[in-house]
């Protein structure tokens, strides 16, 4: 084979490996640009909505501002983690893009392919053996920390940027280093701030080492530092990093750390190794190597001893890079060093702690070290064993790595292979919403906050109708802007004076205040699809849909209308006691007794509760005893985790207890409730019995 053809064929190998891994771990459905079903929950939802509002907004300067998504609270495409690099690339073509368009599946494919590509390039610095390079590339590719980010913080799946930085730093004769580092730093700045600080530290350590060891003159070093610092600053400015004057730092440094046992803690990602009990925020420092890589640790140590490899000879003049890795590790561990469930503290000056809080999820900072360790293991194997032995060990390690982590990536694939859809199911079905969208220009939440309850449904409605909204979820938000918005909101609630072009959706606190001050002669205050809305000037609008106004008579507990489903994926005044924090699907009971408040119409015949049951060995059942206003009406036994329906009759004895407003106290007694910790399943100490998803009245 001619050298050029052979080189081209070898180049294709890592690219094919990356594509293969993508289809194994993610699957093809995420690549459909009109499929947003897999983006419907959690962080991916704000990634998509941030882009959706950004593409519809006029161009701004700086380019990355996104004023329609956040309004006065301040917003830029970087703070919804919507990947400014691709957002800025696709926005000029918005007129030609379909109404629903997402690039996050494409981004994940890029991450897998370039993870393999830069892994291949790095391994080329260690060995020329094609088989060894390909097998070791597979180990770098099947990285649990990268896969975890592909399940949530999508921009942070760009670990290839870290491999690229290591490649540039380790290359012995890098050509056009300013251009190479400049392109990498600029691209990383337009992806995510956490990745930027890691890549920038590797670059700075490399630059410092080159100057100290006379690979570059001081003048060359200063020119490179000044030029690339300016380049990165411009990129950050245009992406919107500086659009909020405060709020960059937030609490959590020391909580979202890496546990010292993280490389060995599978956290559900291993078929073999058990989970290790750790602290509550240690999930941000998830850095499980995988059983395949862990197998190589003792083998690499043997190889190092056999080959007589000295660290000094292996590292050469790269000590500054080693110091950078040590610094990243110390930052990842934070000043609250966790060893399993134990924590050892050392004090930090207040100003350093405030500065560190900008990157509060410090556990992520171990990622470059993670890959550097894997590369060093391969280096020792290659130097200490003959090629056939190294190939055999790496092949075994790769097979074990893929099989061992199957528990984790199979679940990731399932979440990315849900039935495709070009829109999300909205709870806003009443004709009122379309009428309101034609009358108002803004949708506001009262009281304003970051990630308010039901923010996703509200923002989705606003975006679909071309409205602006402050019901958003941001990675960072201006503290002063939020404080000012809340003061303005409280003033409006006290005076009853609202913006004429804004539709307001109220939380429980705002609802009680609004009912006291609403101007019922002009403004509508009512419930629509289980949302409490305040529509200024609605009653004087000739084109607006006629609605029943509850006004100052608005009750704290909604009257359950027959056939309307009320969900419990948020805080609710209906859940009086015995309930945990709401989750995306609903709310678990906590303890052996729970209580719910309802209001039912006089003609209601039954109550239907859709629920999960915490059915785990050894009992495999949950007994449920239901009382309505003190009258026992149902005793049953649930044996399935999902798909449970409690049909609770409203008999004559219960009807006699109902007051005029239909108030009903629903009590649940759960004698078999148990905690996951007591069953040895996890550290979760909640005593769980029934998980309520929704309630409806028939």
- pLDDT bucket at 584, cuts 50 / 70 / 90: confident
**Mean pLDDT score, 513-534:** 91
Domain 566-697 has CATH 2.60.120.260: yes
> So what's the pLDDT on residue 67?
94
- Cα gap 577→541, rounded to integer Å: 42
Q: What is the domain partition of the chain in residue ranges?
A: 431-553, 566-697
Does pLDDT of 606 surpass 90? no
Specify the pTM.
0.90
Phi-psi group of 596: left, alpha or beta (phi > 0 → left; psi -120 to 50 → alpha; rest → beta): beta
Average of per-residue pLDDT across 101-114 = 98
**What's the CA gap between 514 and 510, in Å, rounded?**
6
37 falls in which pLDDT band (50, 70, 90)?
Answer: very high
**pLDDT of 167 higher than 90:** yes
- Does 33 have pLDDT greater than 90? yes
Predicted pLDDT at 2: 55
pLDDT in tens, 126-143: 999 999 999 999 999 999
270-311 confidence digits (pLDDT tens):
989 988 988 888 989 999 999 999 999 999 999 988 877 777
Q: How confident is the model at residue 660 (pLDDT cuts 50, 70, 90)?
A: confident
pLDDT, mean of residues 198-213: 95
Residue-level length of the chain: 698
Question: Residue 428: pLDDT above 60?
Answer: yes
User: What is residue 539's predicted lDDT score, i.e. its pLDDT?
Assistant: 92
Specify the pairing of strand 442-446 against strand 468-469. Answer: parallel
Q: What is the mean pLDDT of residues 190-219?
A: 94
Which of 123-132, 378-387, 481-490, 595-604 shows the lowest per-residue confidence on average (mean pLDDT)? Answer: 595-604
- Residues 405-421 have pLDDT tens digits of 998 999 999 999 999 99
The answer to whether 111 and 503 have CB atoms below 8 angstroms apart is no
Contact criterion met (CB below 8 Å) for 473 and 450: yes
pLDDT at 29 over 80: yes
- 4 pLDDT above the threshold of 60: no
Average pLDDT over all residues of the chain: 91
Provide the pLDDT for residue 8. Answer: 66
- Contact between 18 and 117 under an 8 Å Cβ cutoff? The reply is yes
- List pLDDT tens digits, range 38-84: 999 889 999 999 999 999 999 999 999 999 999 998 889 999 999 99
User: What is the percent of the chain where pLDDT is above 70?
Assistant: 97
Q: Hey, is 524 helix, strand or coil?
A: strand
For residue 617, give the 3-state DSSP assignment: coil
Helix (H) or strand (E) holding 445: strand 442-446
DSSP state string for 525-570: EEEETTEEEEETTGGG-SSSPP----GGG--SS-B--TT--EE-SS
pLDDT at 666: 87
Q: Give strand ranges (E) for 3-90.
A: none
pLDDT of residue 398: 97
pLDDT class of 560 with cuts at 50, 70, 90: confident
Using only C-alpha atoms, the chain has a radius of gyration, in whole angstroms, of: 29
Q: Give the CA distances from residue 104 to residues 33, 148, 308, 600, in Å, rounded to whole numbers and listed in that order.
A: 8, 15, 47, 44
Average pLDDT over residues 424-443: 94
């Amino acid at each position: 084979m001619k050298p050029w053809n052979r080189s081209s064929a070898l180049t294709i190998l890592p690219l094919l490996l990356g594509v293969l891994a993508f289809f194994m771990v993610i699957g093809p459905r995420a690549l459909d640009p009109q499929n947003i079903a897999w983006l419907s929950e959690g962080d991916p939802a704000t990634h998509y909505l941030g882009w959706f509002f950004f593409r519809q907004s006029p161009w701004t300067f700086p380019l990355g501002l996104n004023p329609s998504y956040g309004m006065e609270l301040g917003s830029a495409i970087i703070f919804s983690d919507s990947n400014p690099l691709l957002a800025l690339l696709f926005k000029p073509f918005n007129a030609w893009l379909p109404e629903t368009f997402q690039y996050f599946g494409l981004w994940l494919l890029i991450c897998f392919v370039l993870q393999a590509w830069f892994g291949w390039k790095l391994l080329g610095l260690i060995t020329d053996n094609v088989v060894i390079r390909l097998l070791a590339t597979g180990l770098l590719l099947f990285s649990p920390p990268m896969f975890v980010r592909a399940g949530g913080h999508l921009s942070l799946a760009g670990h290839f940027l870290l491999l690229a930085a290591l490649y540039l730093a380790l290359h012995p004769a890098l050509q056009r280093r300013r251009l190479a580092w400049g392109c990498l730093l600029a691209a990383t700045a337009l992806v995510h701030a956490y990745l930027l600080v890691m890549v920038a530290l590797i670059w700075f350590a490399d630059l410092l080492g080159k100057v100290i060891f006379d690979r570059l003159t001081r003048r060359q070093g200063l020119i490179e530092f000044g030029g690339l610092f300016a380049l990165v600053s411009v990129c950050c400015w245009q992406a919107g990093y500086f659009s909020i004057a405060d709020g960059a730092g937030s609490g959590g440094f020391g909580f979202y750390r890496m546990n010292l046992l993280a490389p060995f803690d599978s956290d559900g990602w291993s078929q073999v190794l058990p989970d290790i009990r750790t602290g509550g925020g240690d999930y941000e420092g998830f850095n499980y190597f995988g059983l395949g890589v862990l197998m190589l640790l003792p083998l690499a140590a043997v190889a190092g001893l056999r080959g007589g490899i000295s660290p000094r000879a292996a590292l050469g003049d790269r000590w500054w890079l080693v110091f950078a890795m040590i610094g990243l590790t110390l930052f990842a561990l934070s000043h609250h060093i966790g060893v399993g469930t134990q924590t050892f503290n050392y004090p930090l000056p207040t100003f350093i702690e405030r500065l560190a809080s900008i990157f509060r999820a410090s556990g992520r900072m171990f990622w470059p070290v993670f890959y550097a360790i894997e590369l060093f293991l391969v280096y020792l194997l290659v130097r200490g064993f003959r090629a056939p032995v190294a190939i055999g060990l790496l092949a075994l390690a790769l097979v074990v790595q893929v099989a061992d982590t199957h528990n984790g990536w199979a679940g990731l694939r399932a979440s990315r292979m849900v039935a495709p859809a070009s829109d999300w199911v909205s709870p806003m079905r009443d004709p009122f919403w379309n009428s309101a969208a034609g009358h108002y220009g803004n949708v506001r939440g009262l009281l304003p906050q970051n990630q308010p309850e039901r923010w996703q449904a509200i923002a989705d409605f606003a975006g679909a109708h071309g409205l602006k909204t402050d019901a958003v979820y941001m990675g960072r938000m201006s503290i002063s802007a939020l404080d000012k918005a809340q003061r303005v909101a409280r003033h409006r609630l006290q005076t009853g004076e609202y913006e004429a072009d804004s539709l307001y959706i109220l939380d429980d606190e705002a609802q009680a205040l609004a009912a006291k001050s609403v101007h019922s002669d002009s403004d509508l205050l009512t419930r629509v699809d289980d949302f409490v809305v305040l529509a200024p000037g609605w009653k004087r609008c000739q084109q607006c849909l006629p609605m029943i106004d509850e006004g100052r008579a608005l009750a704290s507990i909604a009257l359950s209308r027959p056939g309307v489903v009320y969900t419990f994926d948020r805080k609710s005044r209906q859940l009086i006691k015995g309930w945990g924090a709401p989750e995306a699907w609903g709310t678990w009971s906590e303890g052996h007794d729970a209580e719910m408040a309802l209001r039912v119409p006089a003609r209601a015949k039954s109550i239907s509760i859709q629920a999960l049951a915490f059915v785990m060995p050894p009992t495999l059942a949950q007994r449920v005893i239901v009382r309505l206003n003190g009258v026992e009406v149902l005793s049953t036994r649930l044996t399935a985790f999902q798909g449970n329906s409690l049909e609770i009759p409203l008999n004559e004895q219960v009807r006699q207890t109902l007051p005029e407003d239909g108030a009903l106290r629903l009590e649940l007694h759960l004698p078999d409730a148990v905690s996951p910790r007591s069953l040895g399943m996890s550290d979760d100490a909640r005593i769980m019995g029934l998980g309520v998803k929704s309630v409806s009245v028939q």
